[in-house]
Every structure is written in C-alpha cells, then in structure tokens.
Amino acid sequence: MKKIVILFILFSCSSQVFSQGKEFETREMTWFGYFNQTRFTNRSGLWVDLHLRMNDHFVNELHATIVRAAYIYYPTDQCRLMAGYAYATQYGHEDSPNVPEHRPWQQIQWFEHKNSFNMMQWIRLEQRFRRTVSAGELTEDYTFNFRARYNIALTIPLIGKKVKPTTPFIFINDEVFINFGKSITYNYFDQNRAFAGLGYQFTQHLNAQLGYMYIFQQLPQGNQYIQTHAIRLFVFHNLNFSTSN
C-alpha cells in the first residue's frame, strides 16, 4: 500500500517539477462522465462512456464532448481486453471552429482486491485522427498520432474493509499520457491527470465519485503548457448478465 501511495505522489508532483521555468495557461473546468460496462456472457461484453467538459470558471463554456464504445473480452473475471472507437469534439469559441477527432482504441484492464482497498489499472493505446485547422477554418486534412495511457486507481472504503452497497469510499487515481508517431516533435509527454475525491456505492452495480482533478499538459509547440483545476463527477454503472454473476 505504501508503495502505491508513493507512486501516486510521484506522478502528481512530477508535473509541478516539469513546469518550473515554463510558460503555462491556467484553466478552471468541470468534467461530467458516465461509464458503463455490461457483461453479457462469461467472455463478452460492451463498454460505453460519455463525457461533457465545461471550461471558463468551471461552467461558462462548452469545451469538449466524447462518446466512446468498445467490445470487451474477459479472459478472467479480473482481466478485460477492449477494442473500440471514440468520437471527440473540441468546441471552438468566437471565430474558432469545432474540431472533431476519430479515435480507435485498445485497452487491457485488470483488478486486484486487497484486504482494505481495491486497485484498478489499465493500459490504453489510442490512434488519434484529428481534423486540422488553417486560417480559422476546418480543412479536409487530418493529423495522426498514437497516444499511450497508463491509469492506476485505488478505492478505499470508509466503513469496513470492503466496498459494498451503501458504502462511502475514497477514490484516488493518476493517469499519464504519452504521445508518439511521426507528427510528434516536442510533446512526447502529453499530460498527467491526478484525482482525489469521495464516492458512494449506491447498489452493487452503481456508484458515483466527486472530487478534484489536477491536469498538467504540454502543447504540441513544446514550450507551452496548460494546468487545469477541475471538479470531476463520474458515474459508474456496471451490469452482469453472465453465469459468473
């Protein structure tokens, strides 16, 4: 447990050290997310997640939306393989256009249940096809790059030693993003997202988490950075219709 906490702190602090001496923009955002994993059989299921992100003093501007879906294969009850597609839109303001992005993705996700906490990890690979903008207008061209993501999350019950219905819990996670591909020159490091908050397990299948997220991001120019202070509300809805339920 101590090693996991130390790893989380290192991930969170690395962005602060990396930003020293750099110019950066500060944003205040609110993120809403809904995640659903539905297991239909012992081996197959469906992943769906939806996102709405607001910017400018947390709620004044629509910043982005994402719709993501994937097929899930279950090698075991504690391991899941996914392959799917996401459609993202970053919304422009004033004279800037809305920029769409097509994003096929693949992922391995696994879980570990300890005596006093649960741990989830995933490794995700994304292929990002993003429309380009020239002279303030969308073109027919796309930029392309790969992005790898590693996410680690801890769920710690505040009552008892197991998260079950009507249990409040602490949730912390950190996710680091790495870019690669021919179009990447300066920002191989893309961003780091660190989150800490409280959650509540409403039923066996439904929980919600609310808390604070800090994001440190390097832009493609290489010398420009964004730090984001965000309120994050995520809802997780997991259903199981298989015989392993």
Query: How do the domains of the chain map onto residue ranges?
Result: 2-240
Q: Is the pLDDT of residue 107 over 70?
A: yes
Pairing, β 79-90 against β 189-201: unpaired
Start-end of H helices in the chain = 2-18
- Read off the pLDDT of residues 20-55 as tens digits, 9 standing for 90 and up: 557 889 999 999 999 999 999 999 999 999 999 999
Q: What does the pLDDT read at residue 233? A: 98
**Are the beta carbons of 188 and 178 closer than 8 angstroms?**
yes
Q: What does the pLDDT read at residue 17? A: 46
Q: Is the pLDDT of residue 68 over 70?
A: yes
Superfamily (CATH H level) for 2-240: monomeric porin ompg (2.40.160.40)
**Are the beta carbons of 213 and 230 closer than 8 angstroms?**
yes
- Biggest distance spanned by C-alpha atoms of the chain: 58
Give the mean model confidence (pLDDT) for residues 85-96.
92
Q: What does the pLDDT read at residue 22? A: 75
Q: Is the pLDDT of residue 14 over 80?
A: no
- Read off the pLDDT of residues 153-188 as tens digits, 9 standing for 90 and up: 999 999 998 999 999 999 999 999 999 999 898 889
